[in-house]
Homo-oligomer: A and B are copies of this chain.
Amino acid sequence: MKIIRKVSQMQKIALKYFQDGDEAGLVPTMGALHEGHVSLIDKSVRNDDITIVSIFVNPTQFGLNEDYLKYPRPFEKDVAICKKNHVDYIFAPSVNEMFPAAHKTFIEVKQMQDVLCGSFRKGHFRGVATVVAKLFNITFAERAYFGMKDFQQLKIIERMAKDLNFRTKIVPCPVVREKSGLALSSRNSYLSQKEKNDAVQISKILKEAKKNFSKNNVSAVLKDAIKKLNKISGSKIDYAEILDANTLSRADKASRNFIFAVAVWVGKTRLIDNVVL
């Protein structure tokens, strides 16, 4: 396994395997790897000739008052996890390497970027779409793996890749959960044991909503879930919405798939989770 720090070096390697006919899989991460990431890595190792994990805490996707500085960066541990799971390359560039001072270009995915998390985290998905497009161009990936925990991110990246004619195929991967049901997230490390126990309720409420959901009782299911989410100790709901799973817009009669997505603060930690209905 090799650790690559420079864009030019990664591109040179990528050009070589691409022209040799080897297919690369990209797992874009911000590090602090957990079993969710490992499930993406596993999928790539099975599908692709070469697996690249990018580790980059992307400043352009954090708001001014968000957790960019305190976001966990256990790099040595991440390296060990990648090595153990048969990753070929870790691409871990510096901020200056990815976003030098002269950088001026951003990618926006209209409408989809403004709902759910986008309405609370202005500019977040602009930063995500931009860095992912850069990673596609840097790695020539045949496939890129994204967890469904970040459902809105997944849908935005799918849209972006299609709209800009990237050849990289987007592979969605199921949410990985603790036995308790809590969705794995690098941000779970911010939770106290007490908060963690409280946070477990979120996935339980989503699971129950899924069980009770039908096309005809959207608002009743939603109302019930919001009531329960509000009862979680120390909780504050950013949003809880049932939307068309493809467009992330209001579900209507043409909708075939529905997503119930929530963002809930538990204490000082913002957690997101979702369930496809």
What is the interface of chain A, defined by CB distance below 8 A to chain B? 7, 11, 15, 18-19, 21, 102-112, 129-130, 133-134, 137-138, 159-160, 163-167
For A18, list chain B residues within 8 Å (CB): 19
B134 touches A103 (CB 8 A): no
- Complex CA gap A111/B130 in Å reads 17
Question: Could you list 14 further interchain pairs (A-B, Cβ under 8 angstroms) beyond the known A7-B165, A105-B160, A107-B107?
Answer: A11-B165, A11-B167, A15-B167, A19-B19, A104-B109, A104-B110, A104-B111, A105-B109, A105-B129, A105-B159, A105-B164, A106-B108, A107-B108, A134-B163
For A21, list chain B residues within 8 Å (CB): 19
For A133, list chain B residues within 8 Å (CB): 164
- Complex CA gap A134/B133 in Å reads 12
- Complex CA gap A150/B141 in Å reads 33
B104 touches A134 (CB 8 A): no
- Complex CA gap A165/B15 in Å reads 13
- Complex CA gap A106/B156 in Å reads 12
**Chain B residue with minimal CB distance to A159?**
B104
A107 touches B106 (CB 8 A): yes
